[in-house]
Amino acid sequence: MKLLILLGLILNLTYASVVDDYLNNLKIEVQKSNPNFKGFDIKRGEEIFTSKHMEKKGKEISCTSCHGIDLTKSGKNFFTGKIIEPLSPIANPKRFTEVKNIEKWLRRNFNDVYNRVGTAQEKGDVVTYIISKDK
C-alpha cells in the first residue's frame, strides 16, 4: 500500500514538472509576439474546450464531444467510438508525463475540432483549464 502511495506521489510530481515546463515554454513563445502577455487563463481554456465547431465532414464537435465535461471519467472518440482514458492527470497518472505526447495530442485534437493548429496561447489556456479541474 505504501508503495502505491509513493508511486502515485512520484507520478504526480512528474506530471506537475512536465506541465510546468511545457507551459513555461509556451509562455515564452507567446511573449515573443505579445510582450504584454500576463499568463494563461482558465476561463479562456474552458471556452476553447467547450466551444462547438464544424469538423471536416460538417458535424458539430468540441473537445467535450470526445472527453466529456467530467475529465476524471473516460471519454469516447467522436469519430471512431474508441474509449479514451480520462484526461485528468489525477484520474489518469499517465496523462501529461511527456511533452511529445502533449504536443501530439494537442496538434491532432486542434486539427480535428478547429481544422487548424492551435496557437501557443490557446494550447496553454487549454492545458491550464484541464489541470485546474484537478484542484
19-47: per-residue pLDDT in tens?
899 999 999 999 999 999 999 999 999 99
The residues, any chain, with a CB within 8 Å of residue 8's CB and separated by 6 or more, are 93
Instruction: For residues 23 and 65, give the distance between their C-alpha atoms in angstroms, rounded to a whole number.
Output: 25
Cβ(106)–Cβ(114) below 8 Å:
no
74-120: per-residue pLDDT in tens?
999 998 999 999 998 888 888 888 899 999 999 999 999 999 999 99
Residue whose cell numbers read 507520478: 11
Please state the pTM of the whole predicted model.
Answer: 0.85
pLDDT reported for residue 18: 87
Please report the sign of the dihedral spanned by the C-alpha atoms of residue 81, residue 86, residue 88, residue 94: negative
DSSP state at residue 115? S
CA-to-CA dists, residue 121 to 8, 46, 52, angstroms: 30, 13, 19
Q: Which three cell numbers stand for residue 67?
A: 472527453
Give all domains of the chain, ordered by start, each with its CATH number. 2-132 (1.10.760.10)
Q: How confident is the model at residue 6 (pLDDT cuts 50, 70, 90)?
A: very low
